[in-house]
Amino acid sequence: MKSSLGLEAKLPVFDLLKEAIVLLWAKRNIVIPMFLPVIFVLATVDFISEVYFSPVVTDDAQVVEADPMVEAGQSMKQLGMSLIAMLFSILMATAAHRFTLLPRDQWYTNGLHGWGKNEWRYLGRAVVIGFIAGIAALVPFFIGAATGSQEGMAIGGTIGGLIAMYLFGRLSITLPEVAIGKQGDLKRAWALSEGNGTRMVIVVLLIPIAMIIPAAILYWLESHLATYFALLVVYVGSLISVTILSLSYQFLIDFYEPESLAPEVLSEELEQPAEKEGESGRFDA
């Protein structure tokens, strides 16, 4: 996609990372009551799943292998808890996108808000993107496996993984748009992220992975308290990551389609420039 002047946007990834942190910190008096409850819920769900529903149970510091039936039952419980965590994650994500991109009167009052049409669309779009990325990963892997060699499988798996990351990164730019109730298909997402494939991989995958590193260190302590705190760190990092994705979407939209900004938002910015930060979560990228 090119602008009306024939220019192509280049996402300033690390500037957007800094801007996301600054935004969340500057509005911490709003962010903490809005998102801390859902972060605690998510951490608690994952903690219960990991500590109490693990197929391998720990008793007096000794690992006890469960029998197959018990292990299958525990796995099903973990799957159920994972689905619950996914639903709460979508609530947090849609609230974060709206917080970042819309005027204050269109925010959800809390990350634990009701489940509506936008959440169903967000879930559906995420599933479709994941399915596309999964198929893209499997095709090269099976081609490599067909050679009958370990090297072929490794090469095919590597190529498939890179293709999947690229597709997932580029198509994910549509998620903020879905969260704020706008219509947009994957073709539009592909056009909007054109020229920023590698940058979108950094935004959607590499930065979130990097934010998990402190949590991984806490996991090594093998303490329930450290595990719970590590999960809190993971979901705080997720909130930052979702905010970066929102700012990336805002940057590209402002560059390619400035006319698509809501008229009421534009009038607010023109008439009350001093109150912009207080009335809207938008930050200029």
Average pLDDT value for the chain: 85
CA separation for the pair 139, 159 (Å, rounded): 10
Domain range list for the chain: 13-115+195-279
Q: 210-231, pLDDT tens digit by residue?
A: 988 888 888 888 788 999 999 9
Q: Please report the pLDDT score of residue 263 as a whole number.
A: 43
Q: How many whole angstroms separate alpha carbon 204 and alpha carbon 27?
A: 23
pLDDT, mean of residues 92-102: 96
pLDDT band at 64 (very low <50, low <70, confident <90, very high): low
Asked whether the predicted pLDDT for residue 264 surpasses 80, the reply is: no
In this prediction, residue 10 carries a pLDDT of: 92
Q: Is residue 208's pLDDT more than 60?
A: yes
**pLDDT band for position 276 (50/70/90)?**
very low
Distance CA 226, CA 245 (A): 29
Q: Which of 238, 127, 258 is nearest to 186 (CA)?
A: 127
Residue 266 has pLDDT above 60, yes or no: no
pLDDT at 269 (0 to 100): 38
**Rg value, the chain, Cα:** 21
What band does 284 get if pLDDT is binned at 50, 70 and 90? very low
Structure confidence by residue, pLDDT tens digits, 37-62: 999 999 999 999 888 877 655 444 45
Tokens of 6: 């024939």
More confident residue, 273 or 17: 17
For residue 179, the tally of other CB atoms under 10 A from its CB is: 28
> Has this prediction a pTM greater than 0.75?
yes
Q: Is the pLDDT of residue 177 over 90?
A: yes
Cα 170 from Cα 192, distance rounded (Å): 8
What pLDDT, on the 0 to 100 scale, is given for residue 71? 66
Name which of 283, 261, 237, 244 is nearest 89 in CA terms. 237
